[in-house]
Structure 1
Amino acid sequence: MTDHWNGHDRARDVTTPGAGAGPQAPNPFAPPSAYRSAAHEQHAPVPPPPGLAPPVYPATPPAPPRSVDPTLVAAPPRPGARRGLRPGAVAGLAVLALGAGLVGGVAADRLVGPSTSTVASSTLPPATVEPQVDRPDGSVADIAATVLPSVVSLQVAGADGVATGSGFVLRQDGYILTNNHVVAGGADGGDIVVLFADGHESPAELVGRTIDYDLAVVKVEDTGLTPLELGDSDGVLVGDPVVAVGAPLGLNGTVTTGIVSALNRPVQAGEAADTAFINALQTDAAINPGNSGGPLVNGSGQVVGINSAIAQPPGAAQATGSIGLGFAIPSNQARRTAEQLIADGVATYPVIGVLLDPRYRGEGVQVTRQPQQGQPAVTPDGPADAAGIRPGDVILAIDGRPVTESDELIVAIRALAPGDVVTLQVRTGEQERDVRVVLDEATSE
């Protein structure tokens, strides 16, 4: 089943890999150009269409200009960005400051002349030496000290240039988790280099990646690494404090704080042909290009999300930095997908076996009435067919959670696993009923 829309006049498919979608109304959660990947790229960004901007990848790798999903625009380029400010730039600032001080001093001496008055001592009292105070458990400083050694930055060189992003140690034997859009540029013969917190670098090889979940695993030869613990994202509540760690704008080891500002936010991330559907945690912790793939951790230092996309103001042609709306892939989804990528190099996702009509206006989401691109509205012998769902039926809710947009149903299903059972509230004509659906399995791209 392909739950992504390629922007052409085809119906949204939540059934079969490779199916497309028809004309779609603007998604209130991911309207044209509303989101960007938070990543650094060297290629120029594609100007987004007018209207509300979608999430931006905090770490999107470079890609040649092409058709852009109306809900996502690639993150802006940052040529050569890798380890933050260049020493030369810092030195330049220092020279300017010192030069200004010197000129000012000479000018003052010439205007006023040598002083003949007694000048008081310029010596300042020394700082009081006190023993180092330990930061309390759960403080941001304590969390940062625990997490930072396990967070890495990635530099990916491919045919289209160099991109940077973030990641973190998943296992002590060298496995590292990041976003697919961070490493996609190095998937076909490119080079991936991992920079660790202690300053050393290691080449990495791609273990597996999935466009559908925007996750990837790479491996270095280093052993004895310190992994971060994956927490339970299902236990996260709105208002919980969180800390985002990564390399925004190439500034390695950057820590920002905030709260979880919303749950179950349906976010389309990626370009038209590579759309990921994320049932995202929303946070107001500052996330910028380069943060993609880095961890979002709770007060215990456990990873509850993988930072993946940021919102963009309406009409903005380029990423303008954090506006307090960042989106992270829940850790429970990341755990399930990472295990599959490490074991098999590919991941699977659940499907119910229907095509959804993006042109439908009304309560709930509607199954298309007619086959699309040679695919049936309801897959024969699929989960929905077995549950009695028919073309033209309207799905009102999943497990008691109302759905009003196709993306809401898609991400709610994607957040589950094949074999899970869901209850769908379905309307046929004027009659409403609850049906039990056992999710089927499809292989991710």
Structure 2
Amino acid sequence: MTARTVDQLDTDVVICGSGVAGLATACALGRLGLDVVLVEKRRQQPHIAKGEVLQPGSLRILQGWEVLHRLESRQAVRLNRLVAREADGDELATMDFGTLGGNRSWMLSHDYSTILECTGEALGETVRLRRGVLANELIRDAGGRVAGVRVSEGGREYEIRARLVVAADGMSSRLRRMAGMSADPVAYGHRLLSFELADVPVAPDEVSAYVTRRGLVMIYPLPHERTRVYVQVAPDELRRADAARLEHWCAELVADVPALAPFAHLFKEALDRRQLLQVWRYRALSLVRPGIALVGEAAHGVHPLTAQGMNTAIGDAHTLAVHLAGTAPGATAAVDEALRGYENERLSRIRDIHVMSHNAARMMTSTSRVGRMLGRRLLSGTGRSARLRYLTTFNMSGLGMRPLTGFDRLVQLGVLPDPKARSFVPSH
């Protein structure tokens, strides 16, 4: 949309950032009939190998937003299981989403850019998207409440006045800092090297996560006969590596992870398209201040192993809309009360997701002998218990959270038997 030359815009909601969190929030709030301005500093979305797997809980939300059928029409791939495996492919534990029952008990994979595109197509008529707009400063009213943002676009500055500002501007969120909220990102001691393998005609309907001496290797299919592979690497493992070194590294990878042998030639062909991703974990201790709310990576970040980052952002958007429903946009006191309800509901859920994701990452990414042995033991203990497999699958699904207890940990370690290991029948 071409911006008008104005000194001020007035709207119900201004959202800063058009990643999945910003677009999802615009979609959710637009469906409430709110007037929404969505601003994004980038003119085009770069291709990023992240946020490609949608959990069952997100599929239910996206169905309500009329996004799901758009993804399915673009050949999104259905994934029925997440399987932890040994380097040679032997199974350690399988999380089968079909055991959850109900509709859409599976995951979907697609390119992050396509997920953004489909969400953008579902934006309501009351949503205006403006690209090339940078949020510079929060505007506050006489009482100190956030009342909008001051932005710059094409060499000019203007104000967007709003009853609610939503910060969806990522891990290093400027708006979060301006609002006096904090998050302290902690980098994992490894990075993930991402490959996109082309022309893979037959792929299993699962996310496969391999426990190896080099750490995590994760594989899942994408549409159009492609496969995504993440390989754990040390931060400087391939720094300034030439072509010969990279080919030797690929050969070493396949030797360490025999299950990758069928893909050996494809890794070499994909070397020039690889992406190196830094991995973080963090969560803001508060999500709201009067007039402003955090969503998505402005509020939290987790290891991508359990595919929770994008899905938690979609949950943020959905929950914020639930609390704002029926609230008159101009009633700022009611809006702030809705924000407190949003924060109260999401803080505990984000904390549980943060703990679950970090625990899973520790099991799968350790490169020490003791760490790998402990991780395998925990995974094998989960795999032997139908109850723990179901519980773990449910927690990853986005449908709810039932954190593991101390007893569950002892069962995983084999210290105590699980009386329901074989007789457990899930209640849907």
Fold shared per TM-score above 0.5 = no
Q: Which structure has the greater CA radius of gyration?
A: 1
TM-score normalised to the size of structure 1?
Answer: 0.25
Larger relative helix fraction: 2
